[in-house]
Amino acid sequence: MTPVHPIEAAFEDRFGTAPDGVWAAPGRVNLIGEHTDYNDGFALPMALPQTTRAAARRRTDTLLRLHSTRSEGAVTEVRLDALAPGTVPGWARYPAGVVWALAEAGHPVGGADLHIDSTVPTGAGLSSSAALECAVAAAYDDLYGLGLGRTELARAAQRAEHVFAGVPCGIMDQMASVCATEGAALHLDSRTLEHRQVPLDLAGHGLELLVVDTRVSHDLADGAYAALRAGCERAARLLGLPALRDLAPDGLAAALTALPAELAPLVRHVVTENARVEAAVARLDAGDVPSLGPLLTEGHASLRVDYGVSCAETDLAVTAALGAGALGARMTGAGFGGCVIALTPTALTGTVGDAVTTAFRAAGHRPPHLLTATPSAGATRTA
């Protein structure tokens, strides 16, 4: 096999032979439905054009060798029988965790050489970790002929992050990365994993989705994310519910009076956010894409006031975008920094981007990184 793509050549430079193939999985933005997935709720993500690519070659032993263009370090090597949560540090715990999760599930997997490259920004709330996990899961599925379905791949990737890497994430990121299709958002039920492709024709409505990377990085393993999830689970127990997804909007007022003061805002966000997802899907089904805007803005207010996961930079990006003509804007991802999305008339995208950049400069923040997002396809083999 003669390398024809840069990542294949890089694999051969690192490992001395050509890969068996290249697999890619995208990052994602979530249009609406934040912090709902670990509450068995609903979400509406879409895949990004930016992907993580894994060039991979099957080995005849149980050695796993990992290398990334984003790491200055040497190749990480570990044997499959030595894999356990906490045994692999840094970025390599995500791909190693996928292999561990597949083996734990009883799938006949062995060793592999993996070289990773990515265009998904890290620490920006665009699910770079899920993209990495899902690219590796797709590669292993093909390398070892596992024949897994998309949902099974997502479950393995989530288990890798949740148990092996120690981040108690929901499954929305991984489902978006493997199941999304071009030109659509993914309406996801996080309890059943039932999902539906909802057409999202931004260009046809003269719109773009501007993504503002505030360049404020976050680490979800620092305990803040886990504390929020624990608070939601405690609230569900106190209310006698399997999960907050089971609290209907018409029961919210009574529930809030029955809960400790510190839990009530979390519950209010989850219940109203689930309702916003359903409203967004109904509007897209009706072909009314511009009316998503106010839902995005309402969602940001809930994340800022009730959930407390916004920050000065994300709030400023939302305010500046709305002031420059965006139809709606909100932070996307788990929060604590990361990205803001703004639904913007195409003719105003440059104006909105300039306004956000100017506002950041005036506030003394680093200039944001701007990109536009189009609904893209999920994990696939590319070579």
- Which positions are catalytic? 173
Which token pair is 286? 């009706």
Give the separation between CA 341 and CA 31, rounded to whole angstroms. Answer: 8
CB 59 within 8 A of CB 113: yes
CB 340 within 8 A of CB 331: yes
Enumerate the H helices of 241-348 as residue ranges. Answer: 252-258, 264-285, 292-302, 312-323
Helix 93-104 to helix 128-143 angle, to the nearest 10 degrees? 50
* DSSP letter assigned to residue 196: E
CB 130 within 8 A of CB 27: yes
Give the N- to C-terminal CA distance of the chain in Å, as an integer: 11
Give the separation between CA 240 and CA 59, rounded to whole angstroms. Answer: 50
Alpha-carbon distances of 22 from 9, 15, 18, 178, 197, rounded to whole Å = 11, 15, 11, 15, 26
